[in-house]
Amino acid sequence: MEGVDILPHERSKKQFDVDAMKIVWAGSRHAFEVSDRMARLVASDPAFQKDNRSRLGRKELFKNTLRKATYAWKRIIELRLTEEEAGRLRFFVDEPAFTDLHWGMFVPAIKGQGTEEQQQKWLPLAYKMQIIGCYAQTELGHGSNVQGLETTATFDPDKDEFVIHSPTLTSSKWWPGGLGKVSTHAVVYARLITNGEEHGVHGFIVQLRSLDDHMPLPGITIGDIGMKFGNGAYNTMDNGVLTFHHVRIPRNQMLMRVFQVTREGKCVQSNVPRQLIYGTMVFVRQTIVADASSALSRAVCIATRYSAVRRQFGSQDGVETQVIDYKTQQNRLFPLLASAYAFRFVGEWLKWLYTDVTQRLQANDFSTLPEAHACTAGLKSLTTTATADAIEECRKLCGGHGYLCASGLPELFAVYVPACTYEGDNVVLLLQVARFLVKTVSQLGSGKEPIGTTAYLGRVQDLMQCRCEVQTAEDWLKPSVMLEAFEARSARMCVARAQNLSKFANPEDGFAELSADLVEAAVAHCQLIVVSKFFDKLQQDIPGNGVKQQLQNLCYIYALNLLHKHLGDFLSTGCITPKQASLANDQLRSLYSQVRPNAIALVDAFNYTDHYLGSVLGRYDGNVYPKLYEEAWKDPLNDSVLPDGYNEYIRPLLKQQLHNARL
């Protein structure tokens, strides 16, 4: 059976309503319709073609990205798209570009940190793209340690201006997307100095290039930092380097919603609480979690379809076995499929959390902010690390062909993997979560009850003593049993870490010494959040024949696979017994068998076009091999039969005439 026959046959096995699952995946019927419409709009427009991206040189690649981004903006204007529609259109264009930082960081920074007057001045220009902005925080010498930034902003009261300066080589701004060649403005983070005193790091709107000829303004040195990992991939983006030599800006270009500098140079805390700034951080990180589910589901879609098309070994009646039928393949692939859905639903919940936190902050209620900050930091770390690893695993699941750029997986990995370091290094973020957890444990019994995702720690005494009630493999399919196991594991790890820390005279010395253990506790807590939010999703009204059953299967696969991977935690903390662990594996194998006939339909529910997937291996029609063969002949090396260099190098070698060759 050829690939074009296999996938339709696989789809005929499905046991649920795929169209209903598409709506569940999208979040709502409206979101599905918007996404579907924008995906097809992009896929049907030749201007957004991208299958030659990996063969382009850097300059050609970058110019092509400029063309696409500008054309996308033209279509957004012509079609009068809403902000939601425009965002989905840019998503499906699927090319990192200067617009990412403009809309994703520059605009939110001004909205979150600018005064009403500043917003009225700058946002209309940004919304019309009459200025193009980026976000200049990271420096050559400092990234995650924002308080260690070296760029200075010194107030000059005589001229009512700030002087922005890069005092060292390591203070050069480094990495901002869009900075290298495009951005006209940046939100620049610098150490505020007034009257010889430092007042921490603050944001400033700085014009970088002339709006007439695009040349850098006086005192500004600016450029691209060079090629990054992968073919095409993130090399479509002009990540930049920026240094300031005593650049002057008006005082009113400091973002002053929270902290202000007066005409006389006095620093004043505004009536707006400083905590509001964290709302922007929560927004950005919940977006990153949503992006993780998109990238992971894309890789899983490719690997699942190709695993069904590919046949290898086990020949019966002259027909080899589909790779997806091997238990080893299912054991590696299906937990990744489950993770894609799990991350989608925890991302949905984070959207709600952002709205809730924002409303509370505006009402001067800061009670949930520390927990929300720790939660978003931890989930950003957990989902991006898991997704980067999963994309690489999907490449391996596709065998040798996964290594071809035509598979779409090498470029997807190269584009995605920076997420593990931008917006907070993943290990640093987990250490922040660990600090919060240890503090929460230390406050137990003080009358301050844990809230939100840490509420389970309020039952720590019970969780320290409970024993898992699993007698049969089917007992693992009880939500209460599964959640208690994950809660007990996390609670016991948190308490153990807190007790070990208490043995150190200096808490910071203890934190440094035990940091690896603390990271493990933070991971356990974050995995509990994802599992619990998946179960919460199952409590909702889920329409569609068989849809809920498939989601239940995926939920238990996600949880049981984590239990298997982190079995040492569960056993060493006494949450479960070796016999119960064995029963969990039995149940996991059973779930794989239940997912198998539905696997292709479950990835179809992502509703990705072939254009967006950008993969010969993941084609909807399964016509893999003829298209791989066709793709090979498009390579520039095949433009001629004899390669460039034949007469200079190959012919003399073959004719044993090297002594006559001009090498």
Measured CA to CA, the distance from residue 624 to residue 393 in angstroms comes to 20
Which stretches within 363-506 are classed as H helix? 369-397, 409-416, 426-442, 460-465, 479-501
Instruction: Name residue 33's amino acid.
Output: E
The secondary element (H helix, E strand) that includes residue 192 is strand 185-194
Do the annotations mark residue 141 as ligand-binding? no
Report helix angle 479-501 to 426-442, nearest 10.
90
Catalytic residue check, 348: no
Which of 81, 72, 133 is closest to 107 using CA atoms? 133
Query: Exactly one of 10, 423, 484, 487 is catalytic; which is it?
Result: 423
Measured CA to CA, the distance from residue 514 to residue 506 in angstroms comes to 12
Burial readout 543-568 (b: 16 or more C-beta within 10 A, e: otherwise): ebebbbebbbbbbbbbbbbbbeebee
What SS3 state is found at 220? Answer: strand
Do 181 and 240 contact (CB within 8 A), yes or no?
yes
* C-alpha separations of 651 from 636, 642, 655, 662 in Å: 21, 11, 6, 12
Measured CA to CA, the distance from residue 467 to residue 266 in angstroms comes to 60
**In this structure, what are the phi and psi dihedrals at residue 504, rounded to the nearest 5 degrees?**
-90, 135
Which of 381, 425, 370 is closest to 175 using CA atoms? 425
**In this structure, what are the phi and psi dihedrals at residue 377, rounded to the nearest 5 degrees?**
-65, -45
Strands (E), 208-318: 220-224, 240-244, 247-250, 259-261, 267-269
Measured CA to CA, the distance from residue 399 to residue 394 in angstroms comes to 9
Reduced 3-state DSSP string for 27-85:
CCHHHHHHHHHHHHHHHCCHHHCCCCHHHCCHHHHHHHHHHHHHHHHHHHHHCCCCHHH
What number of other Cβ atoms are within 10 A of residue 243's Cβ?
Answer: 22
The secondary element (H helix, E strand) that includes residue 295 is helix 277-309
Do the annotations mark residue 138 as ligand-binding? yes
* 220-224 and 267-269 beta bridge pairing: unpaired
**Residues at the annotated binding site?**
138, 177
- In the annotated binding site for FAD, the residues are 138, 177
Residues noted as catalytic? 423
